[in-house]
């Protein structure tokens, strides 16, 4: 069955290469195995579009094996194979280009207006059945996976221009974030997770369940989700100014004045207060850092990335758990002993404040003292020279007046 399916996909892919044979039916027979496979395929587009689409179809169809039937529907192509005849049609035998004499391929190229219309109607029926079976957006209860809105994977693929490199907003350890545009005007961010580790699936479900109904001006809002096989996608608010780290030591270093930095600090604190004290359950983020602070068009901060977040029971001061977070921002009691409480977020927030004031990474070593940021800040405080920790791109005279 595997060999038959692979031969069918190769034949169809080759038949679409000239840009004319984009509606094809096949009958493949392997005499040595006394096996026959029937297939149908259509591709809409030019040579490169068809090749890309059929490569995807080939990969997806392989996932159907060893089933006796399989089908694939994509924005630009449709394919199906089965061990039973799909249609009762008169066939035209042709010689196959496959190696050896043990195979025979019957190819039917759809011709004539009536046949094309009939096939298009057939494709339309499959498309309608597909959309009815997998609606674009569906309301769900957050307790059963799932956030309030489910998006169709292919709609997100189209909105991100097939997850093109030019639409990438950022990269992380478990995936990439893309800019997506709907109807030419509605812009969102789509976080695509790489499922190469069991932890990714857990974090995806965790993030959807935890923040589906958490709404606050300083928390990045989850708009929806999509889960199709190994493709896990989160649909989030689009933040035009990206992440805070870009303004502290990245490409936009030095563009934030003290008033803006102070407002960002207060906004992060407000968001954490909501998670820890104002929501109906206490949520610990566990990964507060500058790359997880996103900025709106007017530089209002929003805490993002709740993949590691978890609840803290009301009747417990802390929980003991395995470490998960980012070194350089982690409280000692949590990194060493797994003691987790809201104080862990508070510690990380303190490190972020130092980064905002100094314009330095927490893991960056000071050139003169060979100390990390936290150690350098503490020793500067003890020596009463803490003003030396302020970002050199700030106007110190103006900053002094505002900090008093």
Residues in Cβ contact with 255 at an 8 Å cutoff, skipping those fewer than 6 apart? 247
The closest of 243, 256, 236, 44 to 147, measured between CA atoms, is 236
CB 39 within 8 A of CB 10: no
User: What is the rounded distance in angstroms from the CA atom of residue 299 to the CA atom of residue 159?
Assistant: 26
Provide Rg for the chain, Cα atoms. Answer: 28
User: What is the rounded distance in angstroms from the CA atom of residue 156 to the CA atom of residue 150?
Assistant: 11
| CB-neighbour burial class of residue 41 (10 A; exposed 0-12, middle 13-18, buried 19+) | buried
Buried b (16+ CB within 10 A) or exposed e, 66-75: eeeebbbbbe
CB 208 within 8 A of CB 200: no
Determine how many CB atoms are found less than 10 A away from the CB of residue 315: 5
Annotation says 287 is catalytic: yes
User: What is the rounded distance in angstroms from the CA atom of residue 366 to the CA atom of residue 352?
Assistant: 17
The closest of 192, 177, 252 to 227, measured between CA atoms, is 192
Of residues 287, 305, 342, 345, which has the active-site annotation?
287
Catalytic site positions: 287
């Amino acid at each position: 069955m595997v060999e038959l399916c692979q031969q069918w996909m190769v034949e169809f892919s080759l038949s679409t290469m000239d840009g004319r044979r984009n509606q094809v039916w096949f009958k493949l027979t392997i005499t040595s195995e006394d096996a026959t496979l029937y297939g149908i395929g259509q591709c809409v587009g030019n040579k490169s579009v068809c090749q890309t689409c059929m490569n995807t179809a080939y990969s997806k169809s392989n996932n159907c094996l060893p089933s006796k039937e399989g089908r694939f529907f994509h924005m630009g192509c449709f394919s199906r194979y089965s061990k039973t005849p799909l249609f009762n049609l008169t066939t035209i035998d042709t010689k196959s280009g496959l190696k050896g004499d043990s195979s025979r391929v019957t190819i039917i190229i759809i011709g004539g207006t009536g046949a094309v219309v009939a096939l298009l109607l057939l494709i339309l029926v499959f498309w309608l059945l597909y959309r009815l079976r997998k609606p674009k957006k569906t309301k769900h209860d957050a307790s059963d996976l799932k956030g309030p809105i489910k998006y169709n994977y292919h709609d997100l693929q189209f909105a991100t221009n097939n997850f093109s490199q030019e639409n990438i907003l950022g990269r992380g350890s478990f995936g990439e974030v893309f800019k997506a545009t709907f109807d030419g005007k509605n812009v969102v961010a789509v976080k695509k997770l790489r499922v190469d580790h069991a932890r990714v699936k857990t974090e995806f479900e965790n993030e959807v369940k935890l923040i589906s109904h958490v709404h606050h001006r300083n928390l990045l809002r989850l708009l929806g989700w999509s889960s199709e096989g190994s493709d896990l996608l989160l649909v989030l608010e689009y933040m035009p100014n990206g992440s805070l780290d870009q303004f502290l030591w990245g490409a936009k270093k030095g563009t934030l004045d003290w008033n803006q930095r102070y407002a960002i600090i207060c906004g992060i604190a407000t968001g954490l207060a909501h998670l820890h004290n104002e929501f109906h359950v206490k949520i610990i983020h566990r990964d507060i850092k500058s790359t997880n602070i996103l900025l709106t068009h007017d530089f209002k901060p929003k805490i993002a990335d709740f993949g590691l977040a978890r609840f803290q029971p009301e009747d417990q001061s802390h929980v003991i758990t395995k470490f998960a977070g980012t070194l350089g921002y982690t409280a000692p009691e949590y990194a060493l002993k797994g003691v987790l409480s809201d104080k862990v977020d508070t510690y990380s927030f303190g490190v972020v404040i130092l980064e905002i004031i100094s314009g330095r990474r927490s893991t960056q070593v000071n050139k003169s003292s060979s100390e990390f940021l936290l150690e350098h800040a503490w020793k500067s405080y003890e020596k009463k020279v803490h003003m030396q920790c302020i970002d050199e791109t700030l106007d110190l005279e103006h900053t002094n007046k505002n900090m008093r």
